[in-house]
């Protein structure tokens, strides 16, 4: 990981959907999400286009509902394990929305977002867990990460991802610092 929080070996596709973290804010939480665009279709360019504000809202009926949204995550793990980074870790990616974790609001301020290419109704691939575990290890050595949560845990009224097929026991516990 470099001094800005870009991970070596990840494909970089910079997103404009980020800004500075609050002064002195430590990165303490990893949030796991799931996304596919169009929904439940994998391998396309929709997610990268969405996270870089280049998604054509007329390219698919579902995309019309995304018009005007400006979101991103730090990382996206494709079903084949390919890792893409959209936002350096030291910046705040716009992935969590209205959220809270253990009494703290605005999870974007103190978290890193990892998107799995997937959907609530489909099991994830083993290689995605492997890449995620390696990434969490790297993040925990660089930052004081104390927890890993799902989007559903920090925004339970709004979000269900990563969904019932996500195998939480396959996510490694955080290494000791």
| Domains identified in the chain and CATH numbers | 11-170 (3.40.80.10)
pTM above 0.95, yes or no: yes
Chain-centre distance of CA 18, in angstroms?
Answer: 13
Alpha carbons 7 and 135: distance in angstroms, whole number: 8
> Of 28, 115, 117, 125, which residue is the catalytic one?
115
Average pLDDT over residues 3-14: 97
Give the model confidence (pLDDT) of 49-82 as tens digits.
Answer: 999 999 999 999 999 999 999 999 999 999 999 9
- Residue 75, Cβ density class (10 Å: 0-12 exposed, 13-18 middle, ≥19 buried): buried
Q: Does position 133 have pLDDT exceeding 90, yes or no? A: yes
Chain-centre distance of CA 131, in angstroms?
Answer: 13
Q: Does position 176 have pLDDT exceeding 70, yes or no? A: no
pLDDT for the residue numbered 175: 59
Average pLDDT over residues 97-117: 98
> Do 145 and 139 meet the contact criterion of CB atoms below 8 Å apart?
yes
Q: Is 157 a catalytic residue?
A: no
- Mean of the per-residue pLDDT values for the chain? 96
Average pLDDT over residues 14-37: 98
């Amino acid at each position: 990981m470099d001094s800005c929080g870009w991970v070596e070996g990840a494909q970089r596709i910079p997103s404009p959907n980020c800004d500075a973290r609050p002064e002195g804010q430590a990165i303490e939480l990893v949030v796991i999400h799931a996304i596919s665009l169009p929904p439940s279709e994998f391998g396309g360019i929709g997610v990268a286009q969405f996270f870089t504000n280049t998604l054509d809202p007329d390219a698919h009926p579902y995309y019309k509902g995304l018009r005007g949204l400006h979101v991103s995550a730090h990382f996206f793990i494709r079903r084949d394990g390919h890792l893409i980074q959209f936002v350096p870790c030291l910046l705040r990616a716009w992935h969590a929305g209205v959220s809270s974790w253990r009494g703290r609001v605005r999870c974007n301020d103190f978290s890193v977002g990892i998107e799995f290419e997937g959907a609530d109704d489909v099991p994830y691939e083993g290689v995605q867990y492997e890449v995620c575990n390696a990434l969490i290890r790297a993040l925990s050595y660089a930052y004081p990460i104390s927890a890993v949560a799902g989007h559903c845990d920090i925004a339970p009224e709004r979000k269900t991802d990563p969904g019932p097929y996500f195998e939480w026991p396959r996510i490694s516990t955080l290494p000791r610092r």
